[in-house]
Amino acid sequence: MKSIVIVISGRGSNMRAIVEAELPVRVAAVISNDPAAAGLQYARDKGIFTQTVNHREFASRDAFDQALAAAIDAHASDLVVLAGFMRILTDGFVQRYDGRMLNIHPSLLPSFTGLHTHRRALELGVKIHGCTVHFVTPRLDHGPIVIQAAVPVLAGDTEESLAARVLREEHRIYPQAVRWFAEGRLALHNGIVRVTGEDAAQSAFPDR
């Protein structure tokens, strides 16, 4: 069975969705850059090994990334799952986990890379919004796309209501992406992800 390390910064609801999906993976550890991350307590309660690598204790981004990599590598896991991890990673760190590190981003990439995606979607009046699971590459929020889910933007939506609608989909597609990885069904060809097998065409639209 493959093993994963989940890296969080806060609430950890995506981590929780992955743990609760009972995937064919062993969650070797949950690591946070913030000792106050609420998700750590959930992981502890589940008996999962937790660790904090506090970014505030490091003089440089490089030093932090090296400590984080050491913490991750101690588990010799197959996949690193960034789940609401809010630090920008150095190129060296990203390259170390080439093809074995996933991230979830709350927009339909390549639209709305970066922060405040829901606010910006509302400001621009887009009618469809969503979320993306992608492999992490050095260019922020630009890695090969594994799965996306779309939601409508409704009249009267606020940043909060739109975020909640997107988050429900995050909790659906992130476990799916991790499952595909665990089952060895993700292949990368020239920066494009191909999913093999029956449910490979799993739609971006929840009801299909």
Burial of 112 (0-12, 13-18, 19+ CB in 10 A): buried
Do residues 128 and 150 make contact, with C-beta atoms less than 8 angstroms apart? Answer: yes
**Helix, strand or coil for residue 131?**
strand
Which C-beta is closer to ligand GRF: that of 157 or that of 170? Answer: 170
Residue type, 74: A
Task: Please say whether the beta carbons of 166 and 84 come within 8 A.
Answer: no
Binding to ligand GRF in span 34-93, by CB under 6 A:
83-84
Shortest Cβ contact with ligand GRF: which residue?
Answer: 84
| 51-59, 92-100, 104-112, 122-130 -> range binding ligand GRF (CB under 6 A) | 104-112
Q: What share of the chain is helix, strand, coil (3-state, %, to 5)?
A: 35, 25, 40
Kindly tell me which of 4 and 8 has the beta carbon lying closer to ligand GRF. Answer: 8
105 is catalytic: yes
- How many residues comprise the chain? 208
Query: Given the rule CB under 6 A, which of 6-14, 88-96, 148-156, 178-186 is the region that contacts ligand GRF?
Result: 6-14
Out of 106, 130, 143, 175, the residue judged to bind ligand GRF by CB under 6 A: 106
Tell me the closest approach of the beta carbon of residue 121 to ligand GRF, in angstroms: 13
Q: Which residue in 68, 104, 108, 149 binds ligand GRF (CB under 6 A)?
A: 104
Tell me if 12 contacts ligand GRF by CB under 6 A.
yes
C-alpha 160/C-alpha 110 separation (Å) is 22
What is the number of other CB atoms lying within 10 angstroms of the CB of residue 206? Answer: 12
Contact 166, 151 (CB under 8 A): yes
CB of 147 to ligand GRF, least distance (A): 13
Total residues in contact with ligand GRF, by rule CB under 6 A: 13
Min separation Cβ 135 and ligand GRF, Å: 15
CB 148 within 8 A of CB 176: no
Which residues within the stretch 155-184 sit at the binding site for ligand GRF (CB under 6 A)? 167, 170
The answer to whether 154 touches 126, Cβ cutoff 8 Å, is no
Rule CB under 6 A: which residues touch ligand GRF?
8, 10-14, 83-84, 104-106, 167, 170
Residues classed as catalytic:
105
